Amino acid sequence: MTGINWFKYAAPQTFFHLSGKWIPVLGWIAFFLAIAGLYIGFFIAPTDFQQGEAYRIIFIHVPAAWMSMVIYLAMAFWAAIGLVFNTRLSAMMALALAPTGALFTALALITGSFWGKPTWGTWWVWDARLTSELILLFLYVGFIALHASIDNPQRADRAAAIIAIVGALNVPIIYFSVQWWNTLHQGASINVASAPKMAVTMLIGMLVMTLASWAYSVAVALFRVRCIILERERHAAWVNDLKEVKS
Amino acid sequence: MKLRYKRLGLILGAVALVAVAIGLVLNAFQSNIVFFYTPTQIVNGEVPKETSFRIGGMVLEGSLKRQDDGLTVQFAVTDTVNVVPVTYTGILPDLFKEGKGVVAQGALDSQGRFVASNVLAKHDENYMPPEAAEALKRAKVTQSPAVQPDGSNS
Amino acid sequence: MQWNSFADFLSMGGYAVYVWSSFGLTILALIWEVAALRLRKSKAIKQIKQADAWAKRRVER
């Protein structure tokens, strides 16, 4: 192996110091992007020809729904890495992503409900898209609950990793549900194969909000990893030498 | 003792959640994965008899009629191939319009009419300002229909 | 800009309840998550400090 020793960054101690520098940066990026995204979404993006102003829920519903899927895949990825390489930090990353992913899933479901009532005429329907997204929430909650039910952290990591990995199958089901089955939920407005089916300013607003959600999610997940490190490694000498502990 | 009960509760909770998830998946695969049937499927008799199901399609232009009581409406649902008449008594969603998507829950009566107990609007994935939609509509009427909204050829 | 007045903006074309509750709930949820995390960190540090002080006292004795 030449170049950087990546495993150096996998040590909780190195990671703790490095992530501490990145969290405020990411936090401020998320904050300013969200302000910009909300400004575009409410003041620059025009009203919609079908849905009027109700469509503006898209500026949080779609980023939240995307994050719910992306975070799950990231969680499954870190869980799998932890299971295979037995690296301490990977499993902590998976555990740190779960609550944020669950939160975004719940927000996607609730904001979707607030959008469905005025447009479709119902809060909820059991169509393939909505049902698979609800299953995603159960997978997140199941992951967290199973981890919490096992006292030994290493064993908990391993058991929960299985849920994370198996549940990852649900993510493509959510994404393609609107193509594979008849659903009340409309198809994707944005995909690789065709031009976006949205006015440009609406699209920009949505993308800026999505970037804000990415920055927020990474910042919050890093923060939570640091908490988990502090809790798990509280007997380690380097933890006692931290300036947060000394002061 | 207390800790053991807590752990037992958490494990039971996790098991219950996974069971509910699997149940939902199976349920969805059985009947709900087909959220609605198209008019062609109904005309071909591919729909459940005697039980209620959902019909989905577009509201045929010019088919919407309101009864005198102001609540009962009649319209036709089409998938551009076949047409099924629908009657419904109740409040329609805001987005219900002729030429737009609709999903209705109900059952067929003896004359092949669909009696709906619930009507939902199904909107598409296009978002644009009203002026652009208006311009697009005019362009479609006057110009060749082969040109797509984004300017490319279909 | 498409709003004639501030009241017009607030009414969201009649969809105020749905739009504002969606955005409000999201903002509250995110603030709650950040606050909960800060509390969790300070709790963890407090615990480490306590254990540290306890260990030192034992050494001094």
Report the pLDDT value the prediction gives residue B152, as an integer from 0 to 100.
Answer: 40
Whole-Å CA distances, A95 to A89, A222, B26, C33: 10, 11, 28, 15
Task: Assign C59 a pLDDT band (cuts: 50, 70, 90).
Answer: confident
pLDDT for residue B32 is more than 60: no
Structural tokens at position C45 = 């540090």
Q: Are A39 and A119 in contact (CB under 8 A)?
A: no
Taking an 8 Å cut-off on Cβ atoms, the answer to whether A135 and B130 are in contact is: no
In tens, the pLDDT along B51-70 reads: 788 889 999 988 888 887 77
Taking an 8 Å cut-off on Cβ atoms, the answer to whether B24 and A198 are in contact is: no
In tens, the pLDDT along A7-49 reads: 666 788 888 988 999 999 999 999 999 999 999 999 999 998 8
pLDDT for residue A3 is more than 60: no
Report the pLDDT value the prediction gives residue B1, as an integer from 0 to 100.
Answer: 52
Architecture of the domain whose range is B39-121 = Beta Barrel (2.40)
Select the residue of B32, B94, B125 nearest A186 (Cβ to Cβ).
B125
The one-letter code for the residue type at C4 is: N
Taking an 8 Å cut-off on Cβ atoms, the answer to whether A186 and B24 are in contact is: no
Select the residue of A149, A183, A199 nearest B35 (Cβ to Cβ).
A183
Mean pLDDT on A169-194: 83
Report the pLDDT value the prediction gives residue B43, as an integer from 0 to 100.
Answer: 87
- d(CA A79, CA B141) in angstroms, rounded, equals 56
Is B7 at the interface with chain A, CB within 8 A? yes
| C5 CB-side CA count, 13 A | 3
The top-scoring range by mean pLDDT among A164-168, B62-66, B92-96, C27-31 is: C27-31
Q: Which residue of B has its CA nearest to A55?
A: B127
Report the pLDDT value the prediction gives residue C23, as an integer from 0 to 100.
Answer: 96
Report the pLDDT value the prediction gives residue C34, as an integer from 0 to 100.
Answer: 97
Is A50 at the interface with chain B, CB within 8 A? yes
Chain centroid to Cα A229, Å, comes to 20
In tens, the pLDDT along A193-234 reads: 777 788 889 999 999 999 999 999 999 999 999 999 999 988
Helix (H, G, I), strand (E, B), or coil: what is residue A21? Answer: helix
Report the pLDDT value the prediction gives residue B30, as an integer from 0 to 100.
Answer: 59
Taking an 8 Å cut-off on Cβ atoms, the answer to whether C41 and A42 are in contact is: no
Torsion of CA B30, B35, B36, B42, to 10 degrees: 0
Taking an 8 Å cut-off on Cβ atoms, the answer to whether A245 and C45 are in contact is: yes
**ipTM of the complex in this document:** 0.90
Domain ranges of chain B: 1-33, 39-121, 124-154
Residues of chain A in contact with residue B105, where contact means CB-CB under 8 angstroms, are none
Phi and psi torsions of B36, nearest 5°: -145, 160
Taking an 8 Å cut-off on Cβ atoms, the answer to whether A142 and B14 are in contact is: yes
The pLDDT > 70 percentage for chain A reads 96
Taking an 8 Å cut-off on Cβ atoms, the answer to whether C37 and A114 are in contact is: no
pLDDT for residue B106 is more than 50: yes
pLDDT for residue B27 is more than 70: no
User: Which chains neighbour B (Cβ–Cβ under 8 Å, 3 or more pairs)?
Assistant: A
User: Which chains neighbour C (Cβ–Cβ under 8 Å, 3 or more pairs)?
Assistant: A
Task: Assign B33 a pLDDT band (cuts: 50, 70, 90).
Answer: low
Taking an 8 Å cut-off on Cβ atoms, the answer to whether B17 and A142 are in contact is: yes
Select the residue of A53, A110, A240 nearest C13 (Cβ to Cβ).
A53
Residues of chain A in contact with residue B21, where contact means CB-CB under 8 angstroms, are 135, 138-139, 142
Q: Are B102 and B96 in contact (CB under 8 A)?
A: yes
